[in-house]
């Protein structure tokens, strides 16, 4: 990669990802891995017209120390100034940019039960502020290489070689390697829109998934639901791209309508640990049985976080020949691996996946079948032979995926 490419990528994140508007505040959340690039992003946000840009630095080794040394009582308490910070964000709605670079194994060995208990205690405090911000602000998740992440992805290379190769992969899959990245995204968003417009025209009632690995699964869709993909609009009408990269077309399914079993096709990085080679069986819409070769206890903990954690919040369609998957790289990072192939998500659904969602309260949307939970965890199920057949409201069946990719 060149400095020009990095500058263009930073500009893409600020202007196409977060789409910073004149006078807006911005918060950039980043690990300590790429301070020079974070500086570029901050500069590009100011060039886009930001009135104030703040950087919240995070560091996994420090987070591990917090888990080890703080009591459960301390971890479960939110100080007044922390609540005030949440209230300020809910009031001012700053653009939120998250730069991913974490070590996939960076939290291995922490007390996950303690962490989960603290999260449960904090969630009721945080939830009202999140709901106040929901669909009202721009946010974007993008990535930069971390040394330990690069070593995990490319163990055969030196650290510096791995970081360079990971940079190349990030820029390539983010459509920032060649040409004008913003124009590349304009074309990409237009293609995704054409596909989800077609899916919405079918008025799909359910999707049936089958694959040779044993996946045999049916999920019901919400009658008032819509498919989305690529960029989104805030309630104020600002268009932004929440994920860079993004290859998915997605919707929130009908809570309580999922039957059968799905097998993972890629490892899942959850809470800084990997869950590998796992399956999830659903009955009555709920995950009732899970198995994993690695991380089964963590997977069980995940679906027990709250009442909604065992229900689905997202169904996402991604062709197996996506640009991310065609790199041949297992990223061990959900931002990339979820955009490599089809996936599902356990936990919270998306309220804006209901037509005219702004006419309803959050409670009404949940009553309509959008799942509510403190978690939203994507896991990958796409394979080269995955078949997805839609049953429409009028009873006709339509092939959506054949041999792992679009059938239309």
pLDDT in tens, the chain (408 residues): 899 999 999 999 999 999 999 999 999 999 999 999 999 999 999 999 999 999 999 999 999 999 999 999 999 999 999 999 999 999 999 999 999 999 999 999 999 999 999 999 999 999 999 999 999 999 999 999 999 999 999 999 999 999 999 999 999 999 999 999 999 999 999 999 999 999 999 999 999 999 999 999 999 999 999 999 999 999 999 999 999 999 999 999 999 999 999 999 999 989 888 999 999 999 999 999 999 999 999 999 999 999 999 999 999 999 999 999 999 999 999 999 999 999 999 999 999 999 999 999 999 999 999 999 999 999 999 999 999 999 999 999 999 999 999 999
Q: pLDDT per residue over 241-281, tens digit each?
A: 999 999 999 999 999 999 999 999 999 989 888 999 999 99
Tell me the HSE value of 8 on the side-chain side, using a 13 A CA sphere. Answer: 20
pTM of the model: 0.92
Which is nearest to 365 in space by CA: 220, 283, 255, 273? 255
The pLDDT tens digits for 63-100 are: 999 999 999 999 999 999 999 999 999 999 999 999 99
* DSSP annotation string for 168-236: HHHHHHTT-SSS-HHHHHHHHHHHHHHHHHHHHHH-EEEEEEE-TTS-EEEEEEPTTB--EES-EE-TT
**In this structure, are residues 368 and 354 in contact, taking their beta carbons and an 8 Å threshold?**
yes
Q: Which CATH code for domain 3-173?
A: 3.40.1830.10
d(CA 65, CA 70): 8
312-317, strands of its sheet edge to edge: 228-229, 249-251, 312-317, 343-347, 376-380
Domain ranges of the chain: 3-173, 202-406
CA-to-CA separations, 290 to 105, 216, 262, 277, in angstroms, rounded: 21, 15, 10, 11
Supply the pLDDT for residue 1.
Answer: 81
What is the distance of C-alpha 265 from the center of its chain? 17
Q: Is 310 within 8 Å of 346 (Cβ atoms)?
A: yes
> Which two structure tokens, joined as six digits, stand for 324?
């991310």
At 87, give phi and psi (nearest 5°). -60, -40
């Amino acid at each position: 990669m060149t400095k020009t490419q990095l500058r263009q990528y930073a500009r893409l994140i600020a202007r196409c990802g977060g789409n910073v508007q004149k006078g807006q505040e911005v918060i950039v959340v980043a690990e300590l891995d790429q301070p020079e690039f974070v500086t570029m992003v901050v500069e590009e946000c100011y060039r886009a017209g930001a009135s104030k840009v703040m950087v919240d630095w995070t560091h996994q080794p420090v987070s591990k120390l917090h888990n080890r040394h703080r009591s459960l009582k301390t971890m479960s308490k939110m100080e007044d100034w922390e609540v005030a910070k949440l209230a300020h964000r809910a009031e001012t709605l700053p653009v939120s940019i998250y730069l991913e670079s974490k070590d996939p194994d960076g939290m291995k060995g922490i007390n996950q039960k303690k962490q989960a208990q603290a999260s449960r205690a904090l969630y009721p405090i945080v939830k009202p502020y999140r709901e106040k911000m929901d669909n009202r602000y721009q946010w974007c998740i993008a990535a930069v290489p971390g040394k330990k992440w690069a070593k995990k992805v490319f163990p055969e290379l030196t650290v510096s070689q791995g970081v360079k190769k990971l940079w190349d992969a990030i820029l390539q899959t983010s459509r920032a390697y060649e040409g004008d990245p913003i124009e590349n995204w304009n074309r990409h968003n237009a293609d995704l829109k054409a596909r989800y417009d077609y899916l919405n025209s079918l008025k799909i009632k359910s999707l049936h998934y089958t694959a040779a690995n044993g996946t045999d699964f049916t999920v019901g869709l919400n009658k008032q639901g819509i498919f989305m993909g690529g960029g989104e609009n805030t309630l104020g009408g600002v268009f932004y791209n929440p994920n860079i990269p993004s290859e998915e077309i997605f919707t929130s399914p009908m809570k309580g309508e999922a039957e059968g079993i799905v097998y993972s096709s890629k490892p899942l990085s959850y809470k800084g640990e990997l869950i590998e080679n796992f399956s999830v069986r659903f009955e009555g819409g709920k995950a009732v049985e899970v198995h994993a070769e690695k991380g089964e206890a963590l997977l069980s903990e995940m679906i027990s976080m709250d009442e909604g954690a065992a229900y689905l919040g997202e169904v996402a369609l991604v062709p197996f020949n996506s640009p991310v998957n065609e790199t041949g790289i297992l990223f061990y990072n959900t931002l990339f691996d979820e955009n490599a192939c089809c996936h599902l998500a356990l936990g919270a659904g998306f309220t804006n996946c209901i037509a005219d969602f702004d006419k309803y309260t959050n409670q009404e949307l949940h009553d309509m079948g959008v799942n509510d939970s403190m978690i939203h965890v994507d896991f990958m199920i796409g394979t080269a032979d995955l078949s997805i057949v839609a049953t429409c409201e009028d009873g006709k069946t339509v092939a959506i995926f054949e041999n792992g990719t679009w059938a239309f």
